[in-house]
Structure 1
């Protein structure tokens, strides 16, 4: 097969992941959460990154053996002609358009793969399109689409089963809490004659453990021991411990640690941090500090910024401000420096405790140390002042945020609407809605719930109905909170019949809520 030279450019462009803005990261990560980041080695990484930015050095330009003498124009033109290409000066715009066209055709082919997932007649599809469509579905945790595409992949004439593919799918099913599907995929792998690797088994342990299926998770670990060169390693046990902490099955952690000690596997920083974070989130502060002591006494592990954030976050959430400050000082003496995540958690903790002066002092300290406040920082401050009814201070920080070029997101607007509604400032809610209409912010169900609740409490049932209909237009699914807000508004205004209809509909069709019928009820209620 003859490949066009420019296809390399298409592959390179499609291979680079898009950076996610802070607005998408701001409220999705916990202080210490483990992720499988490499499907082949199943290495671990924390949700918090304190890695310094990569510096692109130009030093190589000084030492490279590059002929800097003027290039004769004629040989250069001949070289282009030999390669069948045109000089850049005369054809850069045309080449760019051609490359863009190829990229768009490639993306269209990838999107078309999913539509063929239910058909059995497609057996000679473009490998690149099928594989990239599967990869996108896995990254997006769209497990149903991923399994359809995987079934389509297995029907291709050029298909060769690989353990790496199965490991990726199992990891995705673990994140989506689909243990039964994970078990079925593992059986398919065995039927294809593949021998499971440690990576595959570890991904299967994660799929069971992250779903709370501990019996199957521990049984899988036992199965690993009976397979040659497939004994559980530190990553297998780490995902098992992480699963136990998520479901607060601390009674199982001792068993896992004993088994690790028996087979000669020592805990690493990730293991200790997972245990410390789990105890902290459960409010088991004594166990948390004991685990920290074990970490220090082990000799091969030292507390790091992830440990610091787990301790600070635990005591902050528990409103034990003295303990939080004490351990902050202790970590500074140990040489563990705080990061932006640390300061954001301290701001939130001081705010919840009503200690606004200390909250401001942390922000001043961040400024002196050149820590730029992010969307998370401002959302925290706005939410704190909003819940406290300090509307002027909340508005002040919202305006400062916009002045500094920090783009508000749906969390920001949700906090503002809730605060204005609580203070009875419905005109301010109208102002926020105009602001949202003129922005490109991606709205979600919690935001619409706040707006529906605000107008419902203000007695403006017409606007409440309008925003409920807008949810459908924005592809935001209403949830139980949405219907609770609607029923509360109807009951408060004596419209018990409409409220009763909604309640009956929720009971009879609690999965889809019969959205079409709900809209009819809302339309005719006023």
Structure 2
């Protein structure tokens, strides 16, 4: 396999924010800004998982704000929220209100955003703007608040605003991202009857993305046929969304057909996102020959691999137990001046850890630190899981000492790994201490945490402790349960948890399983 040493193109950017400068405008749609032409983050086609610690898919966020600005922002939002609960504040400084609203939208705080927006509407200088409603609807979509989005749309109509194409598209996104596909289609149908609001390629791309996300693959051809009938050409984002969706679902025939359609279109040629999607799809399914074949094909098209491509190759070889090829990719990267990232090393340490090759895992972990790359919580999770698998509890103790002497940001998944390791080893006291430390670090326990503790306490005959924890789990919000299963299933051995408390585990995992089943069945 011939590897190239050229960097791929940089990611496009797409952002939306409310101006901090107070503006007043009429409801005339001509005052609206032009629609964004670059691809939104929802359609960036990159493959990554929490477990491997790969670079997050999609557009990269702006660098984190410094602590002082974060504190100022938090204080400002809290201050505005307090005023929002009172009816006497109608002459506030516009800049303060608009900045607080902008920050709340940026951080996807839907409760705070709606309170601040309510305060904004009370101001004597307030005039409704379609652009503001568009951003609010997009935020509510990201927060899975379709009912609030629907009410907000009705409020907009009551204020005398005529919805723009952007507003309708944001509403489609709000419904679609929550799995309300019928409502999303209904909104698109409504758009067709409104002058100047007929759906465009951006609207249809969002609809396609939502259908793929909730496994409504039968709708894809229907949408593409409708676009063709209306004379709307697919964009690169549209093709990449379809290709990535089919690839992640293992629908390789449809994926390759869509890729051929993209090439035949002549106007939208494959790019680095297409490259990574196809290679990742085959690699994820352990179809190594197909992965390598398409790797060569894309190079013949003149598309050069980037660091994400190499990370995909390393992960794919690791999953397939092809450790020599995995190491050769890393060697090639270093010889061609591709600097391995923290994601690269996380993938390698996880692969060797799962294979039980602790020597290689430790070597790459040391190499990672020697090169000045700081380990993350994901790195330490892989190490803890590997040591726990072979019963080396003393190594877990060593990891904790390293973590305590570093500034690594720990998360709930890390503590779950350590608690699970101590639980399997019967170290109940250490496990309890980690549970306490977890709360001190403000890493709130989830249902995996409680299930692990209950399994260990049950094995020790500590029935009273089991009853207390069961009561806490019952009080845990359903939202936390869903998040646990959907985002953290690969850190803890669920089969191990089920062995001691099958009925109890199923009682709180059932809502998550039903949610996943409903999404899979559509």
Does TM, scored on the shorter chain, surpass 0.5?
yes
Question: How big is the shift at 1:230?
Answer: 1.1
Q: Which runs of 4+ in 1 moved over 4 A?
A: 33-36, 47-51, 100-108, 508-513
Q: What is the aligned counterpart of 2:319 among 352, 359, 369?
A: 352
| CA distance in structure 2 between the aligned counterparts of 1:472 and 1:47, rounded to whole angstroms | 36
Question: How big is the shift at 1:345?
Answer: 0.8
| CA distance in structure 1 between the aligned counterparts of 2:190 and 2:69, rounded to whole angstroms | 47
Return closer, same or farther for 1:390/1:119 CA change in 2, 3 Å cut-off: farther
Tell me if 1:432 matches 2:402.
Answer: no
1:444 matched to which residue of 2?
A: 411
| CA distance in structure 1 between the aligned counterparts of 2:205 and 2:72, rounded to whole angstroms | 43
| CA distances 1:15-46 after superposition (whole Å, capped 9, x unpaired) | xxxxxxxxxxxxxxxxxx99963475243243
Question: How big is the shift at 1:511?
Answer: 4.4
Question: How big is the shift at 1:343?
Answer: 0.6
Q: What is the aligned counterpart of 1:229 among 196, 205, 208?
A: 196
1:112 matched to which residue of 2?
A: 79
Question: How big is the shift at 1:282?
Answer: 0.5
Return closer, same or farther for 1:279/1:152 CA change in 2, 3 Å cut-off: same
2:211 matched to which residue of 1?
A: 244
Tell me if 1:317 matches 2:284.
Answer: yes
SS in 2 for 1:116: helix
Tell me if 1:219 matches 2:186.
Answer: yes
| CA distance in structure 2 between the aligned counterparts of 1:357 and 1:309, rounded to whole angstroms | 22
Tell me if 1:303 matches 2:281.
Answer: no
Q: What is the aligned counterpart of 1:487 among 440, 454, 461?
A: 454
Tell me if 1:179 matches 2:146.
Answer: yes
Q: Retained in 1: the 8 A contact 2:201–2:234?
A: yes
SS in 1 for 2:84: coil
Q: Retained in 2: the 8 A contact 1:276–1:292?
A: yes
Unaligned ranges ≥5, structure 1: 1-32, 52-99, 514-526
Return closer, same or farther for 1:336/1:349 CA change in 2, 3 Å cut-off: same
1:81 matched to which residue of 2?
A: none
Q: Greater shift after overlay, 113-122 or 335-344?
A: 113-122
Q: Greater shift after overlay, 471-480 or 410-419?
A: 471-480
| CA distance in structure 2 between the aligned counterparts of 1:333 and 1:213, rounded to whole angstroms | 41
So what's the TM-score if we normalise by structure 2?
Answer: 0.78
Return closer, same or farther for 1:157/1:102 CA change in 2, 3 Å cut-off: farther
Q: Retained in 1: the 8 A contact 2:384–2:418?
A: yes
Q: Retained in 2: the 8 A contact 1:134–1:149?
A: yes
Q: What is the aligned counterpart of 1:406 among 373, 383, 394?
A: 373
Tell me if 1:273 matches 2:240.
Answer: yes
So what's the TM-score if we normalise by structure 1?
Answer: 0.78
2:496 matched to which residue of 1?
A: none
| CA distances 1:458-509 after superposition (whole Å, capped 9, x unpaired) | 2221121121122222222211211111111112223344334433543465
Q: Retained in 2: the 8 A contact 1:198–1:231?
A: yes
Q: Retained in 2: the 8 A contact 1:106–1:129?
A: no
Q: What is the aligned counterpart of 1:364 among 328, 331, 334?
A: 331
| CA distance in structure 1 between the aligned counterparts of 2:338 and 2:345, rounded to whole angstroms | 13
Q: Retained in 2: the 8 A contact 1:114–1:133?
A: no
| CA distance in structure 2 between the aligned counterparts of 1:107 and 1:506, rounded to whole angstroms | 30
Unaligned ranges ≥5, structure 2: 1-10, 18-32, 47-54, 59-66, 481-522
Q: What is the aligned counterpart of 1:37 among 4, 12, 15?
A: 15
More relative contact order, 1 or 2 (CA 8 Å, 6+ apart): 2
Matched residues, number: 434
Q: Retained in 2: the 8 A contact 1:182–1:207?
A: yes
Question: How big is the shift at 1:368?
Answer: 2.2
1:195 matched to which residue of 2?
A: 162
2:224 matched to which residue of 1?
A: 257
| CA distance in structure 1 between the aligned counterparts of 2:14 and 2:138, rounded to whole angstroms | 8
Q: What is the aligned counterpart of 1:378 among 316, 334, 345?
A: 345
| CA distances 1:137-174 after superposition (whole Å, capped 9, x unpaired) | 11111111111111111112222211111111111111
Return closer, same or farther for 1:107/1:456 CA change in 2, 3 Å cut-off: closer
| CA distances 1:269-295 after superposition (whole Å, capped 9, x unpaired) | 111111010001111111111111111
SS in 2 for 1:200: helix
Question: How big is the shift at 1:264?
Answer: 0.4
SS in 2 for 1:427: helix
Return closer, same or farther for 1:471/1:226 CA change in 2, 3 Å cut-off: same
Alignment of 1:10-89 (within 5 A): 37-38=15-16, 40=33, 41-43=35-37, 44-45=39-40, 46=44
| CA distance in structure 2 between the aligned counterparts of 1:128 and 1:498, rounded to whole angstroms | 52
| CA distances 1:402-456 after superposition (whole Å, capped 9, x unpaired) | 1111111111111111111112111111111111112222211111101111111
Q: Retained in 1: the 8 A contact 2:73–2:100?
A: no
| CA distance in structure 2 between the aligned counterparts of 1:242 and 1:512, rounded to whole angstroms | 23
Return closer, same or farther for 1:158/1:335 CA change in 2, 3 Å cut-off: same
SS in 2 for 1:121: coil
| CA distances 1:180-207 after superposition (whole Å, capped 9, x unpaired) | 1111111111111111111111111111
Q: Retained in 1: the 8 A contact 2:16–2:135?
A: no
Tell me if 1:168 matches 2:125.
Answer: no
1:149 matched to which residue of 2?
A: 116
Return closer, same or farther for 1:464/1:105 CA change in 2, 3 Å cut-off: closer
